[in-house]
Amino acid sequence: MLKRSHYIALGLVMLLTLTIMNLPSRTKARVKQGIASLFAPPFGLTRSARETASKAGDYVLPRSELIKQNEALRVENEHLKLQLQEAEKTDKENAQLHKLLGLQQRTQLKLRLANVVLREPANWWRTIKIDLGTRDGLSNNLPVLTIDGYLAGRIASVSLTSSQVVLLGDPNCKVHARVEETGDTGVVGASGPLDSEFVEMNYLSKTATLKPGQNIKTSGDGGIFPRDIPIGKIVDTHSVEYGLATVARVKLGANLNALEQVWVRFK
């Protein structure tokens, strides 16, 4: 049987929860960020522990191995310097030709490297937290890429020092995409709770000629993701809605389970 004190506790908790859940979205986001900032000390501790462990590993490495690695890096550096000089020449030439033809100059990519600091604790969302925030110039809906350049997701919310990234496969991350080889367009949406490697591409035309292995890239429509960011490759297709549309299963190029660092691409 419920006693008076139980009813009071029940009432208070319900009132508090309903108040929090019905706060204006901006206030709610601030409260959420404020509470999340409590976890900064344990996070900092974990990061410094990892760094210390990594440094300890470096000390153990023998001197001969370090010299060998240094030599290999020096050779690679020379090659890259030469390549850069060639690329700069080509870039200048390209810019001059653009000027002569009156074409619009392509804006340079602006990327910022971020570390993944936390992952989603609940099993029904697919998000990560990165260590860049508004003080680093981040804002909502910026595209996030893997180190290899594959699309990983977009910024969902930003605080001063960190941001939440909603990853591909999450129901809140839908991407308008196209098949590179045929030009057919569709929407890359959610995946199954356990399939983090695969997503479904919906709303493809029934006449689309799709084959396994074809590349999927962002279409540039939708206003969030720029054109031509690689997403993955088609694995298989099947008809839905009594044959009126086609759904393709796409294997993501990004390994979302192993993200340690990501690029944030500025518009």
Q: Give the residues lining the site for another protein (CB under 8 A).
A: 1-2, 5-6, 9-10, 12-14, 16-17, 20-21, 23, 28, 31-33, 35-36, 38-39, 42-43, 46, 117-127, 129, 156, 164, 166, 169-172, 190-195, 257
Q: Which is nearer to another protein, 60 or 258 (CB)?
A: 258
Q: Which is nearer to another protein, 35 or 244 (CB)?
A: 35
Q: Minimal distance in Å, beta carbon 257 to another protein?
A: 6
Q: Minimal distance in Å, beta carbon 131 to another protein?
A: 13
Q: Minimal distance in Å, beta carbon 136 to another protein?
A: 20
* Residue corresponding to tokens 């389970």: 257
Q: Minimal distance in Å, beta carbon 197 to another protein?
A: 12
Distance CA 233, CA 177 (A): 12
- In Å, what is the CA distance from 165 to each residue of 77, 88, 137, 138? 34, 34, 15, 11
Q: Which is nearer to another protein, 42 or 102 (CB)?
A: 42
Q: Minimal distance in Å, beta carbon 72 to another protein?
A: 31
Beta bridge partners of 82: none
Q: Which is nearer to another protein, 8 or 97 (CB)?
A: 8
- In Å, what is the CA distance from 28 to each residue of 23, 32, 34, 51? 6, 6, 10, 34
Comparing CA positions, the residue from 145, 200, 147, 146 lying closest to residue 169 is 200
Comparing CA positions, the residue from 144, 148, 140, 151 lying closest to residue 114 is 144
Comparing CA positions, the residue from 219, 138, 234 lying closest to residue 175 is 219
Q: Which is nearer to another protein, 43 or 203 (CB)?
A: 43
